[in-house]
Structure 1
Amino acid sequence: MERIWLREYPEGVPTEIDLNEFASLKDILEKSCRRFADLPAYSNMGVTLRYRDIDRISRDFGAYLQGRGLGKGERVAIMMPNVLQYPIAVFGALRAGLTVVNVNPLYTPRELEHQLKDSGAAAIVIVENFAHTLQEVLDRTPVKTIVTTQLGDLFPFPKRPLVNVVVKYLKKMVPAWHIPGAVPFRRALAMGAEQTLQEVSLTHDDLAFLQYTGGTTGVSKGAMLTHGNLVANLQQASAWLSPVSRLAEETVITALPLYHIFSLTANCLTFMKVGGHNILITNPRDMPGFVKELAKVRFTVITGVNTLFNGLLHAPGFERLDFSALKISLGGGMAVQRAVAENWKRVTGMLLIEAYGLTETSPAACINPLTLQEYNGSIGLPIPSTELSVRDDEGRELGIGVDQVGELCLRGPQVMHGYWNRPEETAKVMTADGYLRTGDVGYVDERGYVRIVDRKKDMILVSGFNVYPNEIEDVVALHPGVLEAAAVGVPDERSGEAVKVVVVAKDPALTAEALIEHCRQHLTGYKVPRRVEFRAELPKSNVGKILRRLLRDG
């Protein structure tokens, strides 16, 4: 497809990136730590680590991991919310030549066991609030090295013990757990400080992250994101930022969880590269507390999903904050709604810019110009070094225009190298000429802006998180009172979409409440159905396939 979108690029944004400027994420991190040594890098609950601190502490943690016998390419799972230990653990693992496996801390034992076994993780770093979940499944996983941390472990004395005592004993947020051989995070750092971090040579082809995403089979798959993929996306993102962003001057609010690919790349990594300051929000659902944190800093950038921005707009006191320094408001993970974008601009004075990406694209693929003045309803322009092709069901490329609707396909250096140990699944999404089938249906307008009209996949998008119907259906079917079930997405004011299950009951006494409680035992909160509908039968095709479309429409 002709790259007509290049004509719409803001002045100063290159059409291609220099992929060879950095050899790896490790290279970017170490250069940033030297260049911005005295600047603040990450802050949480009023405590700040500067780039020189990140350099020293991540070095110690990397040395500890190597000292445990972990070799290049082995997988380290990291299971924690937005706390200071997260960048330390990630950067330490990367500097040691290891592969990071991000894990949602709210996973149920079933979900955690699958991810640890599938990835072959040899180690895990986990906030002890969730250690009881690990305890349940540990014996059935390959994990041998366990590092546990408390929320306040990188805070100075006396704040550190105070926060940890309050969390554990007063708020009772740490269920009882017992894992023999688990090493406390601070002890691991002390041990690492006495060891040498062995230099590991990394190239663009080395695996940096196994980033798990749902699948049409209901099985979560690990997208293989290499150092080259992430270097490319950081180069693309920083190029796109250049018209409005200044090196070493930005303060970004990081409220989305860092284990999510959007926050990982757009916040944690991109602003590390440009010497920015990440303000880590541990619990953004506490809107009053979130607003209090925002009042303490003159932030220049904020990223999030539509529901987060909408929640802030309705939070008491938000409209009274100082937005004079705000340059960039970036929404991704789900569609930005016109009403939210326009209300955001009315309150903050800045337009809420929509971006688009997937786990499989590291994630950025299309972003609206950051100089945009009005909401336009598009997902933006393909970013530098990114090719986009709109294709019909037979794989033929379509043209430009609203009448040329097809599946959006992407090619570029940020596209994953495939799914971990799943060549068949990889083959389903990659074309012969190297394009990723996104599963999203849309078109490119006459100016080059990309517009999505539908999702080809049955994926449900809950507050920016992918939920795949087959996984929900598998869990629902485990209930002895269920004959068969189908899961679909339905509109929801708070989360954009919510999960609805339509059930044919085997037990006539089965209730919606009992089924939802069953799901809570096996699924992370955002995957749990919000609605249950009972029917005598499910609509099916002539070959017996459940027609989810009819359930959504009905």
Structure 2
Amino acid sequence: MYKNLYFLHHAKIRKISLLRHLFNVQFFRSNHNGSGLPSILLFKLAINHARNQPFDKPAIIDVKSGTQNSYQNLISDIIEFKTRLLLKESEKKDLNKARIAFLFPNGYEYVVSQWSIWSAGGIAVPLCITHPPPELLYVLKDSQASKIIVHPEYYDKIKDVAKDAKIDNVLVYEYQKKQKKNGKSDFKIPSLFPMDINRRALIIYTSGTTGKPKGVVLTHANIQAQINSLVEAWKYNKTDKILHVLPLHHMHGILNALNCTLFAGGTVEMMKKFDAELVWNRFMRPERDLTLFMAVPTIYSKLIQHYKNNILPEKQSLATESCSQFRLMVSGSAPLPNSIRNQWKEISGQVLLERYGMTEIGMGLSHEYEIEKRYEGCIGVPLPGVQVRLMSEDGKDITNTYEQPEELQIKGPNVFKEYWNKPEETKKEFTKDGWFKTGDIAMKTEKEKVFKILGRSSVDIIKSGAYKLSALEVENSLQAHPNILEIVIVGVEDQVWGQKVAALIKLKDPKLNLDLQQLREYAKTNLASYKIPSLLKIVDEIPRNAMGKVNKKELIKYFD
């Protein structure tokens, strides 16, 4: 079944038969420049960090394994693993843009694998460790992956999926810490070889909340533009240390939290997954050496609940004080309810910076870095290098018109190259003059002169009677109800109204009660009558994906 199944370690490569008997395999170096790395800015800067930073300063802290690795170790391990990826490529100079899928928990092996694929000339396809086999199979087949790199912990999860995808090249990789002689690093500065910056580098699959997931292809130039933009706007630097708790199959975790920090020469402390208790415990450790934290609104909500319900009153002041170590906390990937924003500010003293992005564009808009310009309910201004416009249905540019909702469109070097193997769908998402159509409805506010997202035109703009309303606006207003923990607003088809406003709610305590009449009475204080829900469903859990997003098309079924 598996012709090429390897367990890769830094000391040796071992081949495994179908009976899983292990035996040594001779190691052959490729004729590719085995000691070199691509002359792409991300690698150039990493080499520079390795040259100039102390050997004892970590680039990656892997909390699960308890290991720390410097930039010197990272560069050396990438070069070694890159060469081993090319082991079976015979006389090829590189992977020739082959799609290489990889399945790893948050940790050092993930970073080595991703960067090694890039340096070997492959296209990295990150897989989600929590996805069920059918979703993994879809990605493998759609991307036409030729190899899979997997952590031993997830080998059993992927082996049958690989068989179904007809992939017989599975590499099982686990990092083993090297012993240093006399406590000194044997790091040697590598050479650089040319690589086209416009080469495809990464395929990230959309979350599929509005349709079948599509493979978004990003080039090295796209990635560099996205990182440059954020590093400038959010002031990343070599003294930064981020606590990384986000999944690593979406832009937020891959670019914003991981690669931007490494680009700037900072330290990434990687937890295997988010755990509210562990995160608060890490915040409250005496060293106070963290500077960055990035999360989705669901994570901030869970941190708030843990603070209120699990941290003893006499220790809450310590928890609050611990948040002063951060220079920046960011929320993204889903709309940030004002109630969560305000509760987090009260608990932590931090005003969350909210940003707007998509898999196809990376980050497009953001609150400004200055705290006083982080306006509630808005997503700020275009990031450096990003062009933004609002276009009406009849093709008029109304970007400079205030309080008029229209489609948000994006242009710039940050915008993706294509949907993988979907030329017609790619073409459909761009205007004739080259602007990407986000499908999101936005407007520019007259008071603050910044942009505000009203929601996706397909699911968040509800047409009820003669009115169009924003589901996000209704969610934001009702989220403040004292009994509501989570709320999602959807439009349910109706013969009379076109769509009815429906609320799906998870209560803070199952013992609490909230009926439709009570909800409507509360809503009257802040919402126009046509925005008030006429349908209500109380649930134990609101289904969300790994990034905290909901699939509203699926949630409508609750009201069938």
Distance 1:328 1:27 in 2: 26
Give the distance between the partners of 1:434 and 1:101, measured in 2 at CA.
Answer: 26
Match of 1:237 among 227, 230, 236: 230
Answer yes or no: is 1:54 the counterpart of 2:74. Answer: yes
* Distance in structure 2 (CA, Å) of the matches to 1:493 and 1:255: 26
Amino acid paired to 1:207: R
- TM-score normalised per structure 1: 0.69
| Residues in 2 aligned to 1:84 and 1:40: alpha-carbon distance in whole angstroms | 11
Q: 1:214 to 1:299 in 2, by over 3 A?
A: closer
**Aligned equivalents of 2:87, 2:165: Cα separation in 1:** 21
Cα shift readout 1:350-402 (whole Å, capped 9, x = no counterpart): 211101100001x1111101212354210111011111111122333224344
> In structure 2, what is the equivalent of residue 88 of structure 1?
112
Q: Alpha-carbon deviations, 1:157-184, whole Å to 9, x = none?
A: 9xxxxxxxxxxxxxxxxxxxxxxxxxxx
For 1:36, the aligned partner's letter is Q
CA separation in 2, counterparts of 1:83 and 1:490?
36
Partner of 1:393: 393
More displaced 10-residue stretch of structure 1: 199-208 or 253-262: 199-208
User: 1:169-180 maps to which residues of 2 (within 5 A)?
Assistant: none
Matched with 2:243 is: 253
- 8 Å contact from structure 1 (residues 120, 142) kept in 2: no
Q: 1:106 aligns with which of 121, 130, 138?
A: 130
Question: 1:342, 1:375 within 8 Å by CA — same for their partners in 2?
Answer: no
Return the letter of the residue paired with 1:240.
A
Q: Which residue of 2 aligns with 1:444?
A: 444
Please report how far the alpha carbon of residue 407 of structure 1 lies from its aligned counterpart in structure 2 after TM superposition. 0.7
Please give the residue correspondences for 1:157-196 in structure 2 after superposition, counting only pairs within 5 Å.
Answer: none
SS in 1 for 2:418: coil
Deviation per CA, 1:94-123: give whole Å up to 9, x if none: 111211001111222211111111112121
Q: Select which of 250, 264, 277 maps to 2:267.
A: 277
User: Which one-letter code corresponds to 1:97 in the other structure?
Assistant: G
Aligned residue for 1:473? none
TM-score where L is the length of structure 2: 0.68
Query: Take 2:208 and 2:434, find their aligned partners in 1: how far apart are those partners?
Result: 20
Q: Alignment identity in percent?
A: 23
Q: Deviations over 1:15-54 (max 9, x none)?
A: xxxxxxx845433433343343533111122421111111
- CA displacement, residues 494-544 of structure 1 (integer Å, 9 cap, x when unaligned): 9xxxxxxxxxxxxxxxxxxxxx9xx99xx98989999999xxxxxxxxxxx
Alpha carbons of structure 1 residues 346 and 132: separation in structure 2 relative to 1, 3 Å: same
Counterpart residue number, 2:46: 29
Amino acid at match of 2:95: G
Distance, in Å, in 1 between the alignment partners of 2:290 and 2:455 is: 35
Shift of 1:429: 1.1
Is the 8 Å Cα contact of residues 125 and 147 (structure 1) preserved in structure 2?
A: yes
Q: Counterpart of 1:221 in structure 2: which amino acid?
A: K
Partner of 2:357: 357
Q: Per-residue deviation at 1:420?
A: 0.7
The separation in 1 between residues aligned to 2:230 and 2:262, in whole angstroms, is 12
Output the amino acid matched with 1:332: G
TM-fit CA distance, 1:204: 2.3
**CA–CA distance in 2 between the matches of 1:323 and 1:528?**
29
Q: Which amino acid aligns with 2:114?
A: V
Partner of 1:43: 61
SS across alignment from 2:278: helix
Q: How does 1:364-375 map to 2 (within 5 A)?
A: 364-373=363-372, 375=375
Kept in 1: contact 2:209–2:550 (CA 8 A): no
Corresponding residue of 2:525: none
**Structure 1 residues 25 and 531, CA gap change in structure 2 (3 angstroms):** closer
Structure 2 CA distance for partners of 1:323 and 1:490, relative to 1, 3 Å: same
- How far did 1:84 drift? 1.4
Which residue, out of 202, 209, 212, partners 1:209?
202
1:60-102 CA-to-partner distances (Å, cap 9, x unmatched) read 1111111231623111111122121111111111111211001
Check conservation: 2:391, 2:397, Cα contact below 8 A. yes
Report the counterpart of residue 531 of structure 2 in structure 1. none
Q: Residue 215 of structure 1: CA displacement?
A: 5.1
Q: d(CA) in 2 for partners of 1:239 and 1:337?
A: 27
> Given residue 59 of structure 2, which amino acid in structure 1 is its aligned partner?
A
SS, match of residue 360 in structure 2? helix
Kindly state the Cα deviation for residue 217 of structure 1 after the two structures are TM-superposed.
Answer: 8.1
| Higher RCO (C-alpha under 8 Å, 6+ residues apart) | 1
The CA distance in 1 between the partners of 2:552 and 2:171, in whole Å, is 35
Indicate the SS of the match to 1:323: helix
CA deviation vs aligned residue, 1:426-459 (integer Å, no higher than 9, x gap): 1121111111111110112245411011211338
Structure 1 SS opposite 2:410: strand
1:458 equivalenced with 2:479 (yes/no): no
> Which amino acid is 1:457 matched to?
S
CA distance in 2, matches of 1:73, 1:29: 22
